Amino acid sequence: MKVRFWGVRGSIASPGPKTVRYGGNTTCIEIRTDNNELIILDAGTGIFPLSQMLLAELPVTANVLITHSHWDHIQGLPLFIPNFIPGNTLRLHGGFDPVSGKGIEQVMSVQLQYSYFPVREAEMKARIEYVTLTPEQSVKVGSATVTPYLLNHPVINFGYRIECNGKSLFFTGDHEPPYNIYGTDDAGHDEYQVFVDEKTKSIEDAMRGVDVLIADSSYTDAEYKTKQGWGHGTFSSSIHTARTAGVKVLFCTHHEPTRSDDALDIAFGDALRDNAQADSQLDIRIAREGESYEF
């Protein structure tokens, strides 16, 4: 498989001179199977430059896996250029929203309301299909097997395990490792800790042994003290999870939008130092817009 990053920032796009090296677009990751089948993880602003590249290989069938419906993960969909060209297919996969009672089709219908976007879905020329997924039930996407897992974020969020020809990848989307919401002296602490431990193990098992883990690593340990409950991980939590799950390569992503490239280098270097293990075989990297990795 081949991975290419088209957007690695979280929350809001942050273009400018201070984010040139790692990129300012929000989450979008291109996956190619050995058969060159196209899988796209999330549709943040990074999907727009991806769609420009795809114009060289029309017609395309794009299988887009949406982790969750927050804006920074879906806001590029209306401007996915192949949608406007006959002969293309956009197949959108994602979860059911218990709040609205709607499936993944909601991420298009909300954005394409005429008050907010000038082109209605009915006016788009491509074929648009919707696949609402069920947690831990695998689906075939070409030659790949995709399995969604519920992770921890303030809205339904799927992490995706993708397996193809003996290779495997896991993408967390936005994810905060489960934690105990009760104080140690509260009556509910011990019972809730059982749930936390079980959920943590189930997530680690979902990631177990993958070749590549792409994980939400938004914060430093110091920043997390005031951000607990916001639904995002840290460099340290991603490194710990990757080691526990026996991952080979970890890409830290969903970079804090106010963090410059230079500051990101410093934060990442500090995390490597603070989480150093002499016997660790884990390859730890920062996700960089435009970077490709083949395995």
Per the structure, the count of domains in the chain is 1
Predicted pLDDT of residue 264: 98
CATH number at residue 169: 3.60.15.10
Give me Rg for the CA atoms of the chain.
19
Predicted pLDDT of residue 277: 86
Q: Are 293 and 51 in contact, with CB atoms under 8 Å apart?
A: no
Does this model's pTM top 0.95? My answer is yes
Please report how many Cα atoms fall inside a 13 Å half-sphere around the Cα of residue 125, on the Cβ side: 9
Q: Which two tokens stand for residue 160?
A: 């995706």
Ranges of the chain with pLDDT below 50 = none
Predicted pLDDT of residue 195: 96
As beta bridge partners, residue 5 has 29
Predicted pLDDT of residue 279: 67
Question: Given the structure tokens 């916001």, which residue do they identify?
Answer: 230
Predicted pLDDT of residue 180: 96
Q: Are 38 and 61 in contact, with CB atoms under 8 Å apart?
A: yes
Predicted pLDDT of residue 280: 80
d(CA 167, CA 164): 5
pLDDT tens digits for 30-83? Answer: 999 999 999 999 999 999 999 999 999 999 999 999 999 999 999 999 999 999
The residue segments making up the domain with residue 236 are 2-294
Q: How many residues does the chain have?
A: 295
Predicted pLDDT of residue 278: 63
